[in-house]
Amino acid sequence: MEYQHPAQLANIVTSYCTCLAGLMPLIYTFLTRAHPKRWIFVYSCILLTGIPTVWLHSREGYRLASFFDMGSNNLLAWALLVAVTGDFMESRSRKILLSVITPVNLAILTWLFLEIDCVPKKPLLRLGEFGHFLVGEVALILNSLLVTCIFFRYHSRIPRNARGLFYVIVAMFLLGLGLATGDNDFISPRILPWHATWHIVGAFGFMTLWVFNHQRFHGQDPPSR
């Protein structure tokens, strides 16, 4: 197999990290105490996201693989919104928010499908020599930011001994966002392929998310001193 750029093999290999970041939380949840079904759906979506990511990076530029990769990423972001709103928001407010967010995400998914063959696939946001963000990538970032904002809005309801893990997740999200600004083939310096490193950071972020959730749902605060 011939690779289109030096970072392609790294992108393929680290895509398996994303698969494991979904598979292992499912195993952990099965072996320990159950998390809510909405979060089991999230962990399943992480695994589902990793599979087309491997496919995409083995066939860079193949639009069908790109559709499944970005489509599954946005499905994961939507699943996170469903889970987080279910944790914190009242039923009526949650229904209103999801009734707006869900059609928007379906419209994004439709656009991604049209990008396979019907509409030009152009960057929505250019970042100079580093890279660019396409429509699906911008939607993914906005969905993720909304998830983060909801967590911060209900920060006081996060158990005290789980808040440190929450801050770690936010820091990893911001680091991943920075790494995602680089194109798939961007390497700087010679040993740092940005996109592949983003895969690794994201995978550990998802694993930390499971630990955070487990602490929220089953942990106990230590006694006050």
Express each pLDDT in 152-181 by its tens digit: 999 999 999 999 999 999 999 999 988 988
For residue 3, is it within any domain? Answer: no
Q: What is the pLDDT of residue 225?
A: 43
Question: Does 3 score more than 80 pLDDT?
Answer: no
- Hey, how many other C-beta atoms are within 10 angstroms of the C-beta on 100? 10
In a domain, 126, yes or no: yes
- Enclosing domain of residue 26: 8-218
Q: For residue 117, which phi and psi values (nearest 5 degrees)?
A: -150, -15
Question: Span 195-215, mean pLDDT?
Answer: 96
Query: What is the secondary structure of 144-164 as a DSSP string?
Result: HHHHHHHHHHTGGGS-GGGHH
**Residue 68 located in a structural domain:** yes
Structure tokens at 8: 């392609």
Total number of domains constituting the chain: 1
Contact, 100 vs 142, CB < 8 A? no
Asked whether the whole model's pTM tops 0.85, one would answer yes
Confidence at residue 30, expressed as pLDDT on a 0 to 100 scale: 94
Indicate which CATH number applies to the domain containing 88.
1.20.1070
Q: Does position 11 have pLDDT exceeding 50, yes or no?
A: yes
Give the mean model confidence (pLDDT) for residues 79-93: 96
| pLDDT band, very low/low/confident/very high, at 150 (cuts 50, 70, 90) | very high
In a domain, 224, yes or no: no
pLDDT of residue 219: 77
Answer yes or no: is 49 within a domain. yes
The pLDDT of residue 223: 44
